[in-house]
Amino acid sequence: QVQLVESGGDSVQSGGSLRLSCAASGYTYSKGCMGWFRQAPGKEREGVAAICSDGRTKYPDSVKGRFTVSQDNAKNTLYLQMNSLKPEDTAMYYCAARYGPALYLTSVMYTYWGQGTQVTVSS
């Protein structure tokens, strides 16, 4: 059974940084891809970063250059380094996982989900 547990969410000032972590159990990194998604109240869930086992990454323009996704296979942990945070980055952040080589930022393509961690950025 795959379990994903996010941590690292916090309240920060605009321009600040945070690193989110996602601890995975029961998931085989070498066979798939993982992603970070966020959802603000009243908005659809959007992908902010994705990474596959071969190191390919993908970001939307809204976070490119500010967010960096990485994974530590030895620790079974996915990370999201977020710099230059803006108030519009405020949301619940979720990590997700899927099996297969395709790299997606679309939430419906992911099978396994964590419970989320809240990020709040104040101006």
Q: What is the pLDDT of residue 74?
A: 86
Q: What is the pLDDT of residue 40?
A: 97
Tell me the pLDDT of the chain (123 aa) as tens digits: 999 999 999 999 999 999 999 999 999 988 999 999 999 999 999 999 999 999 999 999 999 999 999 999 888 999 999 999 999 999 999 999 999 999 999 999 999 999 999 999 999
Q: What is the pLDDT of residue 63?
A: 98
User: What b/e string do you get for 12-50 counting C-beta neighbours within 10 Å, with b at 16 or more?
Assistant: beeeeebebbbebeebebeebbbbbbbeeeeeebbbbbb
DSSP string, 38-53: EE-TTS--EEEEEEET
Q: What is the pLDDT of residue 75?
A: 86
